Chain A
Amino acid sequence: MASFLLRRLLALIPVLILVLVIVFSLVRLIPGDPAVTLLGPGATDQQIAALRAQMRLDEPFYLQFINYVIGLFHGDMGISLKSGAPVLSEIMVRLPATLELALSATLVAILVGIPIGVLSATRPNSLFDHFTRVFSLVGVSMPAFLLALILQLIFATYLGWLPVSGRLSPYIIMQPITGFVIIDGILTGQWDVVWSAIRYLVLPTAVLAAFLAATLGRFVRNTMLEVMSEDFIRTARAKGLSRSQVIIQHGLRNSLLPAITVIGLKFAEMLGGAILTETIFAWPGIGRFMFEAIKNRDYPVIQGTTLVFSLLFMLTSVLVDLLYGVIDPRVRKRMK
């Protein structure tokens, strides 16, 4: 198991290097550079040239690359061309927000999607099954921004139960400790902050979870139907196990493998890809940060966030593989 882990982690390195080279070059091929985008349409060539010089954008490509890689070895990801702050600290400030959202969305999706899938599989072609098929179709097809707007209108404007956007009530000004607002609230014993944070988390979580829950529901249903028709299920029933034992211990457990892959991939995707949700709900996350950096041609930030995102993605994939080993004894044997 340990050598398996080591091998997987070592394999990360060449992939990250490749990602870095690709991003570094691609981003400099896009027309327009940070000086132009930062200064806007009213700027003169003179102002742009002066800013370009200040940003050291005139240096030859290979020199910029070498300097960047050397910086990486020191843990220095460069400085944001827009804000002037170190890229690593900018990322670390925003990462907890995205993690909070991604974790809660994944949790909700699992809690909603898997039971629905199981229930549909045990009642195939019933009314409940038809209902969940429609629900899955809608959840997968509905664009995130449309769902977000609908939820905002219903729950915030018409019902007034939940806030429209943001992470915390604007009247609460708090210095972050861990960056996770809920944890910070608990640590400082301020339950009004915790409650406020939870209220603000509901709608963005719902939007992000919708797609995954719908996908999971469908997935688990189909996989379980296949598994439930296998011989060993009939054997288990024949042995005298109760219906729920058969469904959960034998049926669900065997259907979980593909579901875990989906959950893992989608979770990793949420870390960098929840751009629309983060934009509409004014959630200060890293997806939105990366998107705006691309608009602003903020090279160090684009490179830094892509590297971090790739790393997180690959680590999640390693985690999923490890989880496979935990759940499936056949895989565990192969890992040794």
Chain B
Amino acid sequence: MKLLNLLAGAAIALPLAFYPAYAQSTDPLKTLVVAVPSDAVGLEPGANKAEPVGSEVILNVFDTLVAWTAPDFTQLEGRLAESWTVSPEGTEIDFKLREGVKFHDGTDFDAEAVKFSLERTKSINTYVEATFGLISDIAVVSPTEVKITLSEPYPAFLSILAQPQAAIVSPAAVAEYGDAGFATHPVGTGPFKFNSYQADTNIVLDANPDYFRGAPKLERIIYRVIPDASTRRLELENAGVDVVQQQGQLSAIAAEDVAALQSNSDVTILEAPSQIIRQLEFNNNNPDSPVADIKVRQAITHAIDYDGLLQGVFGGTAERVYGPLTSNSWAYNPKMEELAPAYDPELAKSLLAEAGVDPASLELTLYSFQGPLWGAVATFVQANLADIGINATIAQTEFPALRALQTAGQFDVALDGRQPWYNDPDAHITIGYLSSLADTAMTFRMPEDAALDAEILEAQQTVDQDARKQLYFDIQEKIAAKVPGAYLFSPKLIVFTRANVKGLVINSAPPLNEYWGVYKE
């Protein structure tokens, strides 16, 4: 009897004792559930190192000074900045800031906050050393005007300012929580406020009703961490999640899922072109390599059935790339399409004969990343090469080992690619093709060419957009003439949503979603 009384008392008392930690449920029609493949790393600009999940959260919790305008992402628009001017030499950018904007903690957004944020990110985020390192001074001209001075002209800097790492943080919140604590209490000006984070489980954001562009239509966003791709798909089909992005472009094949979900009337498929380029690259600065002869390289580029690859492996979920830039880049040279090699195995064989090379003598190891997508592409390329008599062995390698091989030049042919993290031709061209940077990253390892290097650096620093464009046109043609690789495909950004989700904006570089305008019917 006593025990029963005790239990009854506990049943009443305990809930009261723990009451503050109760659960909060929300209206499903105002809640968006997004499936992500992994836990976020770095939920604030100072800690973020271009990891996709954390970057997307930052994009929705914070604002940047400028951002790319949907749906084409070729023009910049002001977010926290109302307008800006760039000095003729390109080293000074003057921003007029928006007035009346408040951070989620109620403090005012002003020029001091901009200076604080950018200088803080510059000092604690090692990832942005190269770009933020160009900032030589940030001057607060007035509470609504800030001037950024660069040590050298760098027109792509505005694209850098549109990145998640350049988002503006609340100085008051940083002072309250400290640099380390701010990552678990991020405070910005964005359409959504940070609510909670449960490791490996979820991240919850609540709507910011005072957002300067207007309150979001949603009340809450819940990011659910679901590591397995087939589980994400099942959840989408069962309405357990509302949005699934085909993140992890390196490992997933969207084609099968697209085909399966196309017939599902509860699911909408959104496609957007990306600026990702995937290629078969040659080791371009090893004179002893079997691919050192340009005729051999040309032969290989003609041996690949580009359309077959796009249809057969990707089923329309990827687009053709004709050169060092994707066709949706403002600096894309339309001539690249005619200059691009056509699928012509006979021409390939005759080129090999001209070079005096017997294809059977070429022992090529085709290196690539792991995962089913790369496996499928590698198998396709291997078959194309076999058609012209070249026996290639596929070696799918774990990423760190692959990087070590590639940067040391211990390969002849490899499947590789680049996903630019900011929207500027500089992101593809400079790091990919500057011969002086050949060994410092996974690049095309271009042979030394002072003239081309000088032109690439000039294009990087030219302020006038049209002059820049002309330089990039010329650079693309010069690069193509050297045949550094066979440009294979650019995967489309594919997002699957429940049919009742509307208003989603998919950025292309970096490929992140903005949820401010989203609503459910």
- Are A and B interaction partners? yes
Instruction: Please list the residues of chain A having a beta carbon within 8 angstroms of any beta carbon in chain B.
Output: 31-33, 36-47, 50-51, 53-54, 82-84, 90, 93-94, 149, 152-153, 156-157, 160, 163-167, 170-177, 184, 186-190, 193, 279-282, 284, 288-289, 292, 297
A173 engages B204 (CB within 8 Å): yes
Interchain CB contact (< 8 A) of A280 among B18, B196, B204, B228: B228
A174 engages B400 (CB within 8 Å): no
A51 engages B127 (CB within 8 Å): yes
Interface centre among A50, A54, A94, A170 (most CB of B within 10 A): A170
A166 engages B224 (CB within 8 Å): yes
Q: A47-B130, A171-B25, A174-B22 are in contact. Are A42 and B198 (CB under 8 A)?
A: no
Which of B140-148, B232-240, B267-275, B339-347 lies at the interface? B232-240
What CA separation (Å) do A69 and B49 show in the bound complex? 30
Residue on B with the closest CB to A176? B198
Known: A94-B200, A172-B24; 11 extra A-B contacts, CB below 8 A, are A32-B399, A36-B400, A38-B49, A41-B250, A41-B442, A47-B127, A51-B126, A170-B224, A171-B222, A188-B19, A189-B14
B18 engages A93 (CB within 8 Å): no
B227 engages A279 (CB within 8 Å): yes
Interchain CB contact (< 8 A) of B198 among A46, A149, A284: A284
What CA separation (Å) do A36 and B420 show in the bound complex? 17
A288 engages B23 (CB within 8 Å): no
When distances are taken between beta carbons in the complex, the residues of chain A under 8 Å from B226 are 165-166, 282
A39 engages B227 (CB within 8 Å): no
Distance to closest chain A CB from B251 (angstroms) = 12
When distances are taken between beta carbons in the complex, the residues of chain A under 8 Å from B6 are none
When distances are taken between beta carbons in the complex, the residues of chain B under 8 Å from A36 are 399-400, 403
Interchain CB contact (< 8 A) of B49 among A32, A51, A165, A193: A51
What CA separation (Å) do A164 and B38 show in the bound complex? 17
Distance to closest chain B CB from A38 (angstroms) = 6
B285, CB-defined interface residue at 8 Å: no
What CA separation (Å) do A187 and B442 show in the bound complex? 54
14 interchain pairs, CB-CB under 8 A? A32-B398, A32-B400, A36-B403, A38-B41, A38-B49, A39-B50, A42-B419, A94-B199, A165-B226, A171-B25, A173-B204, A173-B222, A188-B21, A284-B200
Interchain residue pairs A-B with the least CB separation, the first 3: A32-B400, A189-B15, A284-B200
Interface centre among A36, A171, A186 (most CB of B within 10 A): A171
Q: A51-B49, A165-B231 are in contact. Are A44 and B441 (CB under 8 A)?
A: yes
Distance to closest chain B CB from A17 (angstroms) = 29
A174 engages B237 (CB within 8 Å): no
Q: A173-B195, A176-B198 are in contact. Are A50 and B129 (CB under 8 A)?
A: yes
Residue on B with the closest CB to A193? B23
Q: A94-B200, A174-B22, A188-B21 are in contact. Are A44 and B431 (CB under 8 A)?
A: yes
B201 engages A175 (CB within 8 Å): no
What CA separation (Å) do A50 and B130 show in the bound complex? 11
Q: How many interface residues does B have (CB within 8 Å)?
A: 71
When distances are taken between beta carbons in the complex, the residues of chain A under 8 Å from B33 are 170
Instruction: Please list the residues of chain B having a beta carbon within 8 angstroms of any beta carbon in chain A.
Output: 11, 14-15, 17-19, 21-26, 28, 31, 33, 38-39, 41, 47, 49-51, 126-127, 129-130, 180, 183, 195-196, 198-202, 204, 222, 224-228, 230-231, 234-235, 237-238, 240-241, 250, 369, 398-401, 403-404, 407, 416-421, 431, 437, 439-442
B228 engages A39 (CB within 8 Å): no
B18 engages A292 (CB within 8 Å): no
Q: A279-B227, A282-B225, A282-B227 are in contact. Are A40 and B50 (CB under 8 A)?
A: yes
Distance to closest chain B CB from A173 (angstroms) = 5
When distances are taken between beta carbons in the complex, the residues of chain B under 8 Å from A31 are 398, 400-401, 404
When distances are taken between beta carbons in the complex, the residues of chain B under 8 Å from A184 are 18, 21
- The number of residue pairs between A and B whose CB atoms lie closer than 8 Å in the complex comes to 180
What CA separation (Å) do A62 and B247 show in the bound complex? 39
Distance to closest chain A CB from B484 (angstroms) = 17
B41 engages A190 (CB within 8 Å): no
Distance to closest chain B CB from A200 (angstroms) = 11
Residue on B with the closest CB to A165? B231
A165 engages B235 (CB within 8 Å): yes
What CA separation (Å) do A173 and B24 show in the bound complex? 5
A47 engages B129 (CB within 8 Å): yes
When distances are taken between beta carbons in the complex, the residues of chain A under 8 Å from B401 are 31-32
Interchain CB contact (< 8 A) of B18 among A50, A51, A187: A187
B440 engages A157 (CB within 8 Å): no
A157 engages B238 (CB within 8 Å): yes
B440 engages A188 (CB within 8 Å): no
Residue on B with the closest CB to A156? B238
What CA separation (Å) do A54 and B369 show in the bound complex? 27
Distance to closest chain B CB from A9 (angstroms) = 31
What CA separation (Å) do A36 and B202 show in the bound complex? 26
What CA separation (Å) do A282 and B399 show in the bound complex? 24
What CA separation (Å) do A163 and B200 show in the bound complex? 18
What CA separation (Å) do A38 and B403 show in the bound complex? 13
When distances are taken between beta carbons in the complex, the residues of chain A under 8 Å from B126 are 47, 50-51, 53-54
When distances are taken between beta carbons in the complex, the residues of chain A under 8 Å from B222 are 170-171, 173
A41 engages B224 (CB within 8 Å): no
Interchain CB contact (< 8 A) of B47 among A43, A84, A190: A84
When distances are taken between beta carbons in the complex, the residues of chain B under 8 Å from A160 are 238
When distances are taken between beta carbons in the complex, the residues of chain A under 8 Å from B49 are 38-39, 51
When distances are taken between beta carbons in the complex, the residues of chain A under 8 Å from B21 are 174-177, 184, 188
Distance to closest chain B CB from A297 (angstroms) = 7
B240 engages A163 (CB within 8 Å): yes
Distance to closest chain B CB from A316 (angstroms) = 24
When distances are taken between beta carbons in the complex, the residues of chain A under 8 Å from B51 are 38
When distances are taken between beta carbons in the complex, the residues of chain A under 8 Å from B431 are 44
What CA separation (Å) do A50 and B41 show in the bound complex? 18
B234 engages A164 (CB within 8 Å): yes
Interface centre among A172, A173, A184 (most CB of B within 10 A): A173
Residue on A with the closest CB to B223? A170
When distances are taken between beta carbons in the complex, the residues of chain B under 8 Å from A50 are 126-127, 129
What CA separation (Å) do A41 and B31 show in the bound complex? 34
When distances are taken between beta carbons in the complex, the residues of chain A under 8 Å from B130 are 44, 46-47
Q: A83-B41, A170-B202, A173-B204 are in contact. Are A187 and B227 (CB under 8 A)?
A: no
Residue on A with the closest CB to B204? A173
Residue on B with the closest CB to A167? B201
B224 engages A282 (CB within 8 Å): yes
When distances are taken between beta carbons in the complex, the residues of chain A under 8 Å from B442 are 41-42
When distances are taken between beta carbons in the complex, the residues of chain A under 8 Å from B200 are 94, 284, 288-289
Q: A46-B440, A84-B183, A284-B200 are in contact. Are A187 and B15 (CB under 8 A)?
A: yes
When distances are taken between beta carbons in the complex, the residues of chain B under 8 Å from A84 are 47, 180, 183
What CA separation (Å) do A61 and B494 show in the bound complex? 44
Interchain CB contact (< 8 A) of B23 among A33, A37, A152, A173: A173
A149 engages B230 (CB within 8 Å): yes
A44 engages B440 (CB within 8 Å): yes
Distance to closest chain A CB from B52 (angstroms) = 10
What CA separation (Å) do A200 and B33 show in the bound complex? 17
Q: A39-B50, A54-B126, A157-B234 are in contact. Are A82 and B41 (CB under 8 A)?
A: yes
What CA separation (Å) do A44 and B420 show in the bound complex? 13
When distances are taken between beta carbons in the complex, the residues of chain A under 8 Å from B17 are 187
Q: A31-B404, A44-B441, A84-B47 are in contact. Are A164 and B235 (CB under 8 A)?
A: yes
